[in-house]
């Protein structure tokens, strides 16, 4: 607590603020808790502190035959609550506005690739952990190749679904160890929280694991603008799932988002554990829009088997190469590869050619 703030200054400030502690604290440059501790001590010395803030509701209630003194309210005064809500909204607005399109400056010259990992479900017995090991190693050894994760990193069974831990040989604690291992395998351009991850609520452990790794972690969606050194901008719109489905077209969700939404260059989604791809042209801007769905590393899925879902997986992931030397409207600005090794070879070729 700064020593220079005297009791007299605090008394003057709290009176001036008409008892609103947050206002007085701001004026004095003190933390609200520090101010509260000082106010308690000042009150104990016999000084008068505005009652409305310190102990509201002390007026005697007279009911004729009896009277009583109401107990103090258990919440902060309304002025303080309004001030808190204003601050909360300001933070929320700042976060939401900055999230609408997150600029990512690519410092590497020339073409790049993104390996979009399908739903990992790393703790599931049906997860191909060897493929995860191989693909994360590929990211690390390929110059210009970045990793991205569309969500559902673990099964994270919660609530009544917690009984499903009985059907897998990993415990909840082991699941988080595997998640940490997975996240620390490579750098992530973006990481999305899937529905399984978000079952943890606001205490999502994956958010904290990702934070340790300085990964861009967003719940449900991440829309990023890759800004290349030559001035090209490529917008990637990734969601755990883009709403909408069609039995005739598995790429319907991201296609709908492209045609009826933000008109970005690349749409990627996971969640349904199926691969899909469609390419569209925006008639207004002339850009080519790629609508993709990536499947999952959970290759053997009891739920899918029980429900009779058709195997629609081409690969557990997709690799997209981006050649910023091509104009925005060029249909080959982005290429999609289902076998990451093939895509990495093409990226190496593109990069060698651009030197």
* Closest approach of Fe ion to the CB of residue 57, in Å: 49
Phi-psi region of 263 (alpha: psi -120 to 50; beta: other; left: phi over 0): left
Q: Would you say 239 or 271 has its CB closer to Fe ion? A: 271
Q: Would you say 13 or 178 has its CB closer to Fe ion? A: 178
Q: DSSP 3-state assignment of 288?
A: strand
Rg over alpha carbons for the chain, rounded to the nearest Å, is 28
User: Which of 348, 301, 338 minimizes the C-alpha distance to 317?
Assistant: 338
Q: Would you say 188 or 297 has its CB closer to Fe ion? A: 297
Q: Are 316 and 299 in contact (CB under 8 A)?
A: yes
Q: DSSP 3-state assignment of 308?
A: coil
Which two structure tokens, joined as six digits, stand for 118? 């399908």
CA atoms of 164 and 158, how far apart (whole Å):
9
**H helix intervals, 128-219:** 129-141, 172-183, 195-198, 205-212
Which positions lie near Fe ion, rule CB under 5 A?
A: 119, 152, 194-195, 271
Q: In sequence order, what E strands does the chain have? A: 61-62, 67-68, 102-105, 112-117, 145-149, 188-193, 217-219, 221-227, 233-239, 266-269, 276-281, 288-293, 317-322, 334-337
CA atoms of 167 and 1, how far apart (whole Å):
54
Q: Would you say 194 or 324 has its CB closer to Fe ion? A: 194
Q: Would you say 243 or 329 has its CB closer to Fe ion? A: 243
* Closest approach of Fe ion to the CB of residue 321, in Å: 25
* Closest approach of Fe ion to the CB of residue 320, in Å: 20
CA atoms of 20 and 53, how far apart (whole Å):
6
* Closest approach of Fe ion to the CB of residue 351, in Å: 33
Q: Would you say 50 or 120 has its CB closer to Fe ion? A: 120
* Closest approach of Fe ion to the CB of residue 167, in Å: 16
Q: Are 90 and 211 in contact (CB under 8 A)?
A: no
* Closest approach of Fe ion to the CB of residue 220, in Å: 10
Which two structure tokens, joined as six digits, stand for 101? 């399109």
* Closest approach of Fe ion to the CB of residue 118, in Å: 8
* Closest approach of Fe ion to the CB of residue 33, in Å: 41
CA atoms of 152 and 210, how far apart (whole Å):
13
Q: Would you say 154 or 323 has its CB closer to Fe ion? A: 154
Q: Would you say 113 or 194 has its CB closer to Fe ion? A: 194
Q: Would you say 123 or 152 has its CB closer to Fe ion? A: 152
User: Which of 130, 133, 142 minimizes the C-alpha distance to 342?
Assistant: 142
* Closest approach of Fe ion to the CB of residue 211, in Å: 22
């Amino acid at each position: 607590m700064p020593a220079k703030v005297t009791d007299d200054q605090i008394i003057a400030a709290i009176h001036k603020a008409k008892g609103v502690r947050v206002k007085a604290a701001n004026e004095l440059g003190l933390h609200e808790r520090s101010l509260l501790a000082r106010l308690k001590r000042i009150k104990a010395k016999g000084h008068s502190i505005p009652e409305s803030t310190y102990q509201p509701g002390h007026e005697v209630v007279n009911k004729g035959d009896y009277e009583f003194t109401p107990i103090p309210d258990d919440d902060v005064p309304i002025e303080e609550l309004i001030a808190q809500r204003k601050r909360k909204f300001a933070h929320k607005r700042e976060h939401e506005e900055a999230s609408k399109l997150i600029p990512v400056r690519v410092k590497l010259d020339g073409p790049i690739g993104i390996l979009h990992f399908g739903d990992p479900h790393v703790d599931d017995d049906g997860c191909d952990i060897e493929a995860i090991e191989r693909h994360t190693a590929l990211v690390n050894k390929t110059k210009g190749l970045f990793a991205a994760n569309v969500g559902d990193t673990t099964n994270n069974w919660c609530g009544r679904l917690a009984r499903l831990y009985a059907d897998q040989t990993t415990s909840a604690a082991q699941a988080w160890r595997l998640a940490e291992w997975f996240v620390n395998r490579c750098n992530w351009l973006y990481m999305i929280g899937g529905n399984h991850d978000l079952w943890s609520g606001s205490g999502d452990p994956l958010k904290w694991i990702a934070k340790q790794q300085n990964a861009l972690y967003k719940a449900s969606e991440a829309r990023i603008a890759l800004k290349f050194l030559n001035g090209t901008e490529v917008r990637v719109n990734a969601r755990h799932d883009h709403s909408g489905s069609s039995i005739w077209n598995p790429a319907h969700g991201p296609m709908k988002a492209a045609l009826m939404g933000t008109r970005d260059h690349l749409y990627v989604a996971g969640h349904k554990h199926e691969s899909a791809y469609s390419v569209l042209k925006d008639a207004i801007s002339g850009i080519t829009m790629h609508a993709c769905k990536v499947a999952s590393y959970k290759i053997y899925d009891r739920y899918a088997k029980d429900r009779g879902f058709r195997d629609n997986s081409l690969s557990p992931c997709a690799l997209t190469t981006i050649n910023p030397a091509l104009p925005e409207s060029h249909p080959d600005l982005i290429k999609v590869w289902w076998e990451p090794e093939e895509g990495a070879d093409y990226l190496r070729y593109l990069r060698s050619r651009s030197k």
